Chains A and B, each alone.
Chain A
């Protein structure tokens, strides 16, 4: 039942991506609601719930946005290994900063991948526009939204799950 709730959350994020996000751009960049939703699911319910939610997120984004399903999987699947790396890394960082790094790296990866596909399929190669107009404001936007969400989840005491995937069993 919990997983169904998380699938509904990622659906709403995917629907918001094609209805709400384009209405509130930061310059030319828009936030990636799917990325924020995936991070929120991992924070609240741990990596196993995110393992279920992420493929659904990719499929929803693909259907709603006319992108190849494999491309969307390739965009969102690396988030969990990234979160694992950030959680295990011996760095003097708080949990918020570790996950913030995952959101930033994930945002760079997703946008970079979409841009690469656009370049390969006919768009003019525009690295300056990619960096200045899309990547930088996009990840700033993602980071701001993630920070607000993290603050809310922290207040509700819902942001304490480790992101490391345990080897034993399926217990959440």
Chain B
């Protein structure tokens, strides 16, 4: 085979390099190098993002103009009803405070500590959807921590931490599996990413309809309960089917998200490299 005779030394060198790098990666010796590389090159990546992100947003918005008009109309209606609901809740909240004061209940601060981070880059290889954020172990980030959007919906989980950067597996990654429930009915299931970086919801025999909100469940201890994930856009099959095909629309547009929040105060129950429920 002439091809191998001419490339023998190079192919052998590449095989040797692959083995050497694998050994370095196994003992963690590549992490500092990777961290330094990401730190040194992040200005270039930020520059590329700054140039191309607005262009991509313009293209995406232009393509969705019709949908945006309809969405805007619906949001106006939804906003109006939410304003009414908000006013009612404020009144209820005041009433609860009065009652708590009367009963001398000291409510623990359940608010989760959120650390903001910038998205440096996104790796959207086949079956993979990860982002790199510009905070790491020196900022208190640990593997398994939950990452949400600036509006509070679930984005993903930290899977690798360097000193100044962290890799986050998004919920749309095909390896991501999140314990979740239908907000309205409390029926639980699993939100999974797909090959095409979309979301599906696996649930067993429960009523579900288009527009239902899917939120995280505290069932596995990996996510705080109640973080919004997405809305149901399509329900396949019938109520008699054991498993129905439920497609979700994420609440956040992952491709153009620039800022995320890491829930540093939430400690997941179990942390492994794989995000299984």
CB distance from B196 to the nearest CB of A (A): 3
The answer to whether A158 has its CB under 8 Å from any CB of chain B is: no
> When the two chains form their complex, are residues A28 and B18 in contact, meaning their CB atoms are under 8 A apart?
no
Binds B, one of A92-100, A127-135, A148-156: A127-135
> When the two chains form their complex, are residues A66 and B195 in contact, meaning their CB atoms are under 8 A apart?
no
The answer to whether A106 has its CB under 8 Å from any CB of chain B is: no
The answer to whether A85 has its CB under 8 Å from any CB of chain B is: yes
> When the two chains form their complex, are residues A65 and B123 in contact, meaning their CB atoms are under 8 A apart?
yes
Contact of B126 among A11, A81, A115 (CB under 8 A): A115
The answer to whether A64 has its CB under 8 Å from any CB of chain B is: yes
The answer to whether B38 has its CB under 8 Å from any CB of chain A is: yes
Contact of A51 among B10, B30, B37, B45 (CB under 8 A): B10
CB distance from B228 to the nearest CB of A (A): 23
Contact of B21 among A69, A133, A138 (CB under 8 A): A69
Assembly CA distance A85 to B1 (angstroms): 11
| Chain B positions within 8 Å of A134 at CB level | 126-127, 195-196
The answer to whether A68 has its CB under 8 Å from any CB of chain B is: yes
The answer to whether A55 has its CB under 8 Å from any CB of chain B is: yes
Interface of B is mostly: helix
CB distance from B132 to the nearest CB of A (A): 8
| Chain B positions within 8 Å of A130 at CB level | 126-127, 195
The answer to whether B34 has its CB under 8 Å from any CB of chain A is: yes
- Within A78-101, which residues are at the interface with B (CB < 8 Å)? 80-81, 84-85, 88
> When the two chains form their complex, are residues A118 and B255 in contact, meaning their CB atoms are under 8 A apart?
no
- State the B residues within 8 Å of A (CB): 2-4, 6-7, 10-11, 14, 17-19, 21-22, 25, 30, 33-34, 37-38, 41, 44-45, 48-49, 52-53, 55-56, 59, 121-128, 130, 132, 159-160, 167, 174-175, 192, 194-198, 255-256, 274, 276
The 11 listed contacts between A and B (C-beta, < 8 Å) are A28-B198, A66-B123, A66-B160, A67-B123, A84-B3, A123-B195, A126-B194, A130-B127, A130-B195, A134-B195, A138-B126
